[in-house]
Structure 1
Amino acid sequence: MIFNNRKKNIFLFLSINNILLLCGILITLFFIILALSASFLQGQNIIQNPLESLINPIHQPPNNEHWWGTTGQGYDVFSRTIFGTQAAFKVVTLATGLSLVIGVPLGLVSGYFGGKLDKLLLFLMDTIYTLPGLLLSVTLAFVVGRGIFNAAIALSISYIPQYYRVVRNHTTSVKTELFIEAAQAMGATPQRILTKHLFFNVVQSVPVLFTLNAADAILILGGLGFLGLGLPENVPEWGYDLRLALDGLSTGIWWTTLFPGLAMTTMVTGLSLLGEGLTEFFEPRIR
């Protein structure tokens, strides 16, 4: 009987859903390690300075000295791609973190207290939610300007309603449970009920939403960089590098677009797999 249970557990672990989740974790960890080690690798002279032009740089194909070739502006593609990982993680972490910190408390307060405050916040969040994320981010980028923190603000606004709606809906259903009524009857303050009893019962979906928003934010950041609205020109960023590489694509210079585009696609795929895997982990009925 014990042997059969072990076989069943091994089978469940090796199911296709868990394999996809494992792939998402490994891909995401790979890019995290890459982002953290980029400066160290440059210090060890393993990679070039991503902002330093070469003496004879123009559109060299991949070779022993420049593994992924060089751009028309004199940059090493490999170095720019590696340091682009750093920029992506900084902006995405700030953007999703800001939207989480703002959206979750608003959802808790709105769902618990209800009334006019709930109606006002719901109307505001629904209005923001109806706007396309890329269009809203482009508009905000025009207003706040370039920069890592500014790009994070431009991205975060469109994600706040998602955290708000998920947490609010869970809060409105959980606040009618008996353990909440018992806490109220014992004289617990609203602050204590929100922080001790409600918070940990309504945030199960937040990690899933965080990873899916991170994947979406990378694509939108790439779009902002492609339009020249994301990060400053002295910061390596995949979308901006793709914009610079467009001129050479029609003449057969493929390496300047392939590697930044492949890095962006792989990172988004890893985060998406991680998010989908976490969704099925927290909601077994979805399987």
Structure 2
Amino acid sequence: MSQVLAVALGVFVAVALSVAACSIRPAWRRHIVVAAPVTLGLASLVGAWLLLSDVALLAGAGGTSLAVAWTLGGAAANPWVTAGVLVACGLAARAAFRAESLILRWVSRMKKPRSGALPAELLALNLPERAETMSEVGRTAARPGRYWSVSLLAVAGEESLFRVAMPVVLVLLGFPVWVAIVVPAALYAVNHIGFGLASVLGKLLFGVVLGCGAWAAGALFVSAPIHLLYQSWVRRQFVSRKPGRPARIKETVE
């Protein structure tokens, strides 16, 4: 478990440093919505490589075969099962997407945050408020080339680390499968703390869905495609907004 937590901390710190660097000057803050996910993707790929290297050295062929199973699942043996899992996880992911939106709406009604601000504990860091971040996400979403380049890198890194490398290490350490799914989902969710605790809860639900998909039929065939589909939902809610309409607190982000 210590290896997993150490890598997760390293990824979190890398993302936090990228955000802090972009917050040094107000003019740089608009780059956070690109810098943070790019850093997250790259740091996650490095973390996955470190964990899987340890798996290959310490567990040998058994660890390698387990990593292959979490990556490819049973697609080659039973494509119909994989298709069924893909559909089921897609529906569950949509429910998680909707749940996060509802949670954000409820929090905005109960708490009435200032101008869609970040949590109070983060405001002292000179980070942009949520409304400002949402506006920049919308600008990025309006440029499909940039949006999908960033999304592909982030998804590749997150799926490699949180849906393959971490679960494999936890299973090899003797933890039950549900722990190998929930713990990486929680660590994945924490990286979204900049959007508030409600977003962290929503990402926890989404992470569990993706973890179940990777376990049942492989990250490559289920969780990665579902994650990209989720990104398309995120983009659509911004590009479908009427011109001049401000971002809403309840809008879901990656």
TM above 0.5: no
TM-score (norm 1): 0.26
TM-score (norm 2): 0.29
> Which of 1 and 2 has greater Rg?
1
